[in-house]
Amino acid sequence: MDRRVRVRFAPSPTGPLHIGGVRTALYNYLFARKHGGDFLLRIEDTDQTRFVPGAEEYIIEALKWAGIEPVEGIGFGDGPHAPYRQSERKPMYKQYAMQLIEAGHAYYAFDTAEDLEGMRERLKASNVDAKYDAITRSTMKNSLTLSEDEVGKRLENGDPYVVRFKLPRKEEVKFHDEIRGWVSFNTAQLDDKVLYKSDGMPTYHLANVVDDYLMHISHVIRGEEWLPSAPLHILLYRAFGWEDVMPKFAHLPLLLKPDGNGKLSKRDGDRLGFPVFPLNWLDPNSGEKSSGYREAGYLPEAVVNLLAMLGWNPGNNQELFTIEELTEAFSLERVSKSGAKFDQNKAKWYNQQYVRKLDNKALAPILTTALINEGLASHFTAEYVEAVCGLVKEKMSFTNEIWDISKYFFQDPSAYDLGVIEKRWNEKIPALLHEIKSEIETVEEYNAAAIEGVYNQALNNHGIAGKDFLQLFRVCLTGIAGGPPLFEIANLIGKAAMRRRIEHALQEFSK
Ligand code: GLU
């Protein structure tokens, strides 16, 4: 019988979550939902030296913002395998380290930092790859070289030790990766990894494998950077005798810099002006700031959509997907083996598509906040603000641009695009503007079509071509050269604002 699908996102709280991590969480989430399984969040905080305060909260908030919600785990409610934070599971790991020692798959090592350094120096001098392995272990202070008595004494004394995995010397470890196909490693390339320390803390490898086992994980879907750890993990499953419940592995391709040259990093984002983190972050240790998608005006649905497409494709041309559609379409078979280049313009394009689809009512609070900051909120009705949103959203890529591109709906222009004025203003313009102004006063029903009618009639009367005048008229009314349909703007700002703005332009530019 097939196992129930259970997958996990297992970040270490060592800093803000990179968007590559968000993508890993997303693929796990989609995979779980697609197969009616469970997606859980486990915090892997066994390396206390790398712990960063606030990082765990950041991870939880980022997943909530993106709508990638686990069904079990820290921040999302305990499930049957609580606790989900490895530091709280600390007492569970010792027995597993001991089990491996008893079965001859691991051993105690008492080497000091100097001993290890000495070994490295020695091996380097003879041009040998310096690692603690099947060959070097016989020259070190461990339970394979020391007498049983000596080992017993040291343990009794409370001498610090680590437990190392006893790697087979030269063995081909072959496994089937759901994305990469057959992958093989020779244990000669690896070293006897530390699994457990005498302070009672397991290392990543032991805790990760033990927890995946205890939490009944069926598929390990994680970043490519963990591929080199997979053979050790597989050997651990074998050593424990858990091969029959070993999860399937799927290593996701890297997110690459826009030029494809290496892994996408914070520095690329800083240099090229785009976020590589979901939310803003202030590093409590270094004081360094990192910018986030949320604060940059991205919508979570857009970020989810664009991340889904970085490394996976649906096999057709569809680019826009809701999370439900992604769940339906997602499969590991369509995840690519090669790295996915981050494309800043495409990211912006995705956001634009989602901003345009936003309901005016959903956008209005963002604009209202800006109006409050400007001290203008009380002058405008909710309907007016929503109508403005409806007009400008077509022109926006990011929600936080809304005030900048809609200011002129709320205040008369105080500056004008002078390039346009210089190019288009001539001695015929004042009379034309006067006529438009006075004719507008006479229209019975003030609306976009009526304004356009007045405008066309006036142009006709003055023998001026529309294409020469429209942009100038726009600059007179709004101050800037681009924007939503002009007669819609004129309609919304109303008769009185039209009058004022035309008068003001006449004063400014008629000499
Ligand atoms: N704690 C590891 C990380 O930070 C987990 C890797 C895995 O998923 O096995 O990504």
Tens-digit pLDDT profile for residues 275-315: 999 999 999 999 999 999 999 999 999 999 999 999 999 99
77-102 in b/e form (b: 16+ CB < 10 A) is eeeebeebbbbebbeebeebbeebbe
* pLDDT for position 126: 87
481 in Cβ contact with 489 (< 8 Å): no
Q: Which positions are annotated as active-site residues?
A: 266
Domain ranges of the chain: 88-252, 359-406, 418-509
Higher pLDDT, 407 or 128: 407
How far is the C-alpha of 479 from the C-alpha of 469, rounded, in Å?
14
* pLDDT for position 66: 98
Q: Ligand 1 centroid vs 222 CA: distance in angstroms? A: 7
Question: How many other CB atoms sit within 10 Å of the CB of residue 141?
Answer: 18
Cβ of 222 below 6 Å from ligand 1: yes
Does residue 63 register a pLDDT over 60?
yes
Q: Which atom of ligand 1 is nearest to the CA of 12?
A: 4
Burial of 274 (0-12, 13-18, 19+ CB in 10 A): buried
CATH 1.10.10.350 fits 418-509, yes or no: yes
Does residue 165 register a pLDDT over 80?
yes
* pLDDT for position 465: 87
* pLDDT for position 128: 84
Work out the widest C-alpha separation in the chain, in whole angstroms: 111
Q: Which atom of ligand 1 is nearest to the CA of 212?
A: 9
Mutate to test the pocket of ligand 1, among 18, 44, 254 (most ligand atoms within 8 A of CB): 44
* pLDDT for position 1: 44
Q: Using CA positions, which residue lies closest to atom 2 of ligand 1?
A: 11
Q: Which atom of ligand 1 is nearest to the CA of 44?
A: 1
Cβ of 44 below 6 Å from ligand 1: yes
- When pLDDT is averaged across residues 3-7 and rounded to a whole number, the result is 96
- When pLDDT is averaged across residues 36-49 and rounded to a whole number, the result is 95
Closest CA to 335 of 314, 360, 349: 314
Q: Which atom of ligand 1 is nearest to the CA of 204?
A: 1
Q: Ligand 1 centroid vs 282 CA: distance in angstroms? A: 23
Does residue 205 register a pLDDT over 70?
yes
Which residues does residue 223 pair with via DSSP β-bridges, in sequence order?
Answer: 252
pTM value is 0.91
Cβ of 51 below 6 Å from ligand 1: no
341 in Cβ contact with 258 (< 8 Å): yes
255 in Cβ contact with 43 (< 8 Å): no
* pLDDT for position 468: 80
Closest CA to 309 of 274, 275, 346, 258: 346
Does residue 86 register a pLDDT over 90?
yes
* pLDDT for position 60: 98
Which fold, 88-252? Glutamyl-tRNA Synthetase; domain 3 (3.90.800)
Q: Ligand 1 centroid vs 226 CA: distance in angstroms? A: 7
25 in Cβ contact with 18 (< 8 Å): no
pLDDT tens, 98-140? 999 999 999 999 999 999 999 999 988 988 888 999 999 999 9
Question: What torsion, rounded to 10 degrees, do the Cα atoms 19, 21, 27, 30 define?
Answer: -80
pLDDT band at 467 (very low <50, low <70, confident <90, very high): confident
Q: What value, to the nearest 5°, has the Cα angle with vertex 438 and ends 434 and 440?
A: 120
Q: Using CA positions, which residue lies closest to atom 5 of ligand 1?
A: 10
* pLDDT for position 256: 97
H or E segment to which residue 258 belongs:
none
